[in-house]
Amino acid sequence: METALHAVLGAAEQDLEDAVDSAASPLAAAGDRWPHVSRAVLARAEQLVDGCWRRGWQPADLVRVVRRELQPAHVRLAVDLVAAQHRRQPLPGPGPRWTAQLDELEAAVGWGDDAEFLDAAGRRESTGRFGTAGCVLRVLRLLARLPAIPPVDAPAAPGPSAPASGPSAGTASGTASGGGRIPARIRALLAKAEATEYGEEAEALTAKAQELMSRYSISEALLAAGGSGPQEVPASVRIGVDAPYEAAKASLLDAVAAANRCRTVWSPEFGFSTVVGFGTDLEAVELLHTSLLLQATTAMTRAVAGRESARRGGGRARTKDYRQSFLISYAGRIRQRLSDAAGHAVRDAAAGAAGAADGMEGGGPGASLPAERLLPVLAAREEAVEDAADRMFPSTTSHSLKGRDAEGWSDGAAAADRAELRRPRRPSGPAHPRPGAPG
């Protein structure tokens, strides 16, 4: 097993196919020693997966990168290897988010003795020993070659005694929020926005949800600054950014994060963005981004259908440029709308409305500082987030996106901007710059 893996690890990319075949052949020809090969595979895989955890990776990240690089059979095998490592060497106190990732992946040991692992995988994929051995070697090569990445520090559980902790590879993030601090009314608003067929209603519901999330976050910030709430430090989570149109989706996530005083760093080679911020804000970003991505996809699908129907089955609406431009434009308008909603909440709080969110189920945390101290409190939290992000990522590059299809750009902006906010408001501050218009 070690000889085969060494040969595959040392192979150049252009020679990989031949290297895998050459290495898989003696493994498949092991005869009655095949069960020993199965045990050796799992023993080596457990070491490699443990090394991934120590280099900052988490279950969802690892499986995501296998999905991006290889085939579905390799993904299923990677999930098996994660389950095997967790069974043998569970991390001490991995936390609810790590456990949530394992649950979402359905990472469970579905074979009996380790000697039966390769046979079980072969039956599932309908492959013989040679094919199974080749699949294993490709996955192990990928795991062994993954670089170190900045470990994320998931938000501490809510409560006055929640400890503030530094970054740790043993604390996991996932697509589901772990803290559960966002009130039920906000979740209900977003659920309605996702379910409605009317664009104007979805826009109004989403804007209201953002405003309530901002007000709730402000109240928590005031409580912490006044010493009445848990003393938090910025934390971080990773959120998947999947193909296609990754750049546009990363831009949408950045728009949501900016409105909630968080910072994002996109890692396109691995298919995720790291979001840095305070606990409640991170949960708001995860919740709102998931909802908006679903709304954007639904709106784009309807726009494509409308364009194609008007053209009797043809036209640019089916092109990649159209869809990319649609999502870039959508993200730009959403950035403005969420920024406006968050700005309204800040101005209301500064005017003395920083108490419980209006009509919020169970009420939000009450303010314990005078309103005139609100802006310095928020500025200090934003500075703390920037400092934490700069420590995690001392070197970053900015991305500038431009749409290439005028119809897609126009339809994307319309989808994000159909509705005006229902309540009249004072003029907002300067909005974030929009992404570049189509050339």
pLDDT tens-place string over residues 221-241:
877 777 666 678 899 999 999
Let me know: does 236 contact 285? Beta carbons within 8 Å.
no
Question: What pLDDT score was predicted for residue 232?
Answer: 82
State how far the Cα of 68 lies from the Cα of 50, in Å rounded to an integer: 21
Question: What pLDDT score was predicted for residue 216?
Answer: 84
State how far the Cα of 178 lies from the Cα of 96, in Å rounded to an integer: 6
Question: What pLDDT score was predicted for residue 65?
Answer: 96
Residue 402's pLDDT band (cuts 50, 70, 90)? low
The residue-averaged pLDDT of 244-266 equals 94
Question: What pLDDT score was predicted for residue 92?
Answer: 56
State how far the Cα of 26 lies from the Cα of 125, in Å rounded to an integer: 20
State how far the Cα of 129 lies from the Cα of 119, in Å rounded to an integer: 8
Residue 185's pLDDT band (cuts 50, 70, 90)? confident
**pTM of this structure:** 0.78
Residue 318's pLDDT band (cuts 50, 70, 90)? low
* Residues contacting 212, CB < 8 A, separation 6+: 183, 185, 186, 189, 345, 357, 360
The residue-averaged pLDDT of 261-273 equals 94
Let me know: does 56 contact 137? Beta carbons within 8 Å.
no
Q: In 151-275, which residue ranges form alpha helices assigned H by DSSP?
A: 184-195, 199-225, 246-259
First to last CA, the chain: 55
Helix, strand, coil % in the chain, rounded to nearest 5 = 60, 5, 35
pLDDT at 55 over 70: yes
Closest residue by Cα to residue 82 from 90, 70, 73: 90
The residue-averaged pLDDT of 145-159 equals 79
Question: What pLDDT score was predicted for residue 437?
Answer: 40
User: Who wins on pLDDT, 254 or 158?
Assistant: 254
* Residues contacting 230, CB < 8 A, separation 6+: 156, 158, 159, 160, 161, 162, 224
State how far the Cα of 210 lies from the Cα of 260, in Å rounded to an integer: 8
User: Who wins on pLDDT, 36 or 206?
Assistant: 36
Residue with tokens 């977003």: 190
Residue 46's pLDDT band (cuts 50, 70, 90)? very high
Question: What pLDDT score was predicted for residue 352?
Answer: 64
The residue-averaged pLDDT of 71-77 equals 97
pLDDT above 90: percentage of residues in the chain: 46
Question: What pLDDT score was predicted for residue 218?
Answer: 84
Question: What pLDDT score was predicted for residue 220?
Answer: 83
Question: What pLDDT score was predicted for residue 298?
Answer: 86
Cα torsion through 187, 189, 194, 196, rounded to 10: 150
- Which of 8-12, 107-111, 164-168 has the weakest average pLDDT? 164-168
